[in-house]
Structure 1
């Protein structure tokens, strides 16, 4: 029986903090509060109303920077750093334990599948940083962003997941844990930052780092 592990990418496998640090750095260059710029960038990125109708992630990012210009009363200042922000997203690095743990998952004969709210203008470099083979599904492929169940149903239908052959692994509670729970998928919440669950769904397992999953799978 083929066994599958599905993953979120950002903050699960790759540390996205450097992207937000770049936005804060740009804000400081432009003479505005970097922390506020970072927070507003994250808020816009996480607001699902900014993604309907579906927008590719690169356009969503440009709109996010345009929104920062509007919020800070600037004209084409943040937006002109679009290329640098996109490059920062391509250059994210994995958490220290990730590559070794992924190699061990493969040794246990799991097929690794990435489900990312990203686009094909970014994700190839992100996958390359992980150094192991993945099947990759992005929001661009299914024209939906998690937590939209359409994303989850498309992937499930393609592979034929069931409770015996599949576990979903992610850091995002609202984006991944809750919809995976609605799909009746077994889940592992990689709660790196010790967040409180914001909904009623209780993940099947909860860990603080990826390598803590290994005893669960053996």
Structure 2
């Protein structure tokens, strides 16, 4: 669904958030935390697990912006399990941090990216370390033209530093900000800062029809959106329809 009067064909570069947009991180991180949650002696619903993860992840990203994501996740696991009254060994917390490479891609992603790669340059701007991302990239079905990680930059989205780093790198490759569409799920980590920095944005609302904000948390206010789709496949369908209409 188009929110503003923009056309997908206006852009030359699509920049993607990885986790939540291309990788089904809620399924992956919940599966990795579930064995620890099961020790609490009471049922902890999936949404409650995701909510506490979101709360502690953003605190830790602000507190230790230079930490590798896998190591940061280990601290998040430690804090969340402490809240549950669960003892988790440091090795178990580290194992959670190392689980990122095993988190699954959404089913529509490989085919959608292969199509989009025929029409755009594709890049990634991700809150992750390079080693973890390597496992996720194998699930994509294509090679991206550029990859920018929190480990490269030394800070985590929603810090505008990450977006400025990416825009400067793409400008050196000949692409201006007006030629870039940022495609992401997180309203907090991606769409809010995209508004602040003046970057056109496309919301892939992977949680459509679900209550709550999930593992990304809720924004203080709803960001402006250039486009909104329920899936990457829906974005592809809209692009095909736009081209067919001339």
Smaller-chain TM-score bracket = 0.7 to 0.9
2:226 counterpart (204, 207, 210): 204
* 1:8–1:115 contact (8 Å) kept in structure 2: yes
1:79 matched to 2:93? The reply is no
1:146 aligns with 2:157: yes
How far, CA to CA, are the matches of 2:19 and 2:180 in structure 1?
A: 20
Contact 2:40–2:84 (CA under 8 A) maintained in structure 1: no
CA distance in 1, matches of 2:129, 2:204: 23
SS, match of residue 181 in structure 2: strand
Unaligned ranges ≥5, structure 1: none
1:175 Cα offset (Å)? 0.6
Once the two structures are TM-superposed, the CA of residue 34 in structure 1 deviates from its matched residue by: 4.1
1:15-54 correspondence to structure 2 within 5 Å = 15-16=24-25, 17-29=27-39, 31=41, 33-35=43-45, 39-47=51-59, 50-54=62-66
State the 1:78 CA deviation: 4.7
**For the structure 1 residues 56 and 32, does the alpha-carbon distance in structure 2 shift closer, same or farther, using more than 3 Å as the test?**
farther
* Aligned-pair Cα RMSD in Å: 2.6
* 1:119 equivalent in structure 2: 129
Q: In the TM superposition, what is the alpha-carbon distance from 1:83 to its structure 2 partner?
A: 4.4
**Cα gap change, 1:171/1:84 in structure 2, threshold over 3 Å: closer, same or farther?**
same
Contact persistence 1:23–1:34 (CA under 8 A)? no
CA distance 1:171–1:183, change in 2 (3 Å): same
Q: Does 1:129 align with 2:139?
A: yes
User: 2:156 is paired with a residue of what secondary structure?
Assistant: coil
* Aligned partners of 1:50 and 1:60 also within 8 Å: no
| Superposed counterparts of 1:59-208, under 5 Å | 59-75=71-87, 77-108=88-119, 110-134=120-144, 135-160=146-171, 161-162=175-176, 164-194=178-208, 198-208=220-230
Bigger RCO (CA 8 Å, 6+ sep)? 2
Q: TM-score, normalised by structure 1?
A: 0.86
1:78–1:171 Cα change, 3 Å: farther
SS of match in other structure, 1:46: helix
Q: Cα 1:104–1:95, aligned 2, differ >3 Å: closer, same or farther?
A: same
Residues 1:20 and 1:168: Cα distance change in structure 2 (over 3 Å): same
- Whether 1:14 aligns to 2:26 is no
For the 8 Å contact 1:7–1:168, the answer to whether it is kept is: yes
Q: Across the two proteins, how many residue pairs are aligned to each other? A: 216
- Give the C-alpha shift of residue 57 in structure 1: 1.0
Distance 1:115 1:184 in 2: 16
TM normalised by structure 2 equals: 0.77
- In the other structure, the counterpart of 2:12 is 3
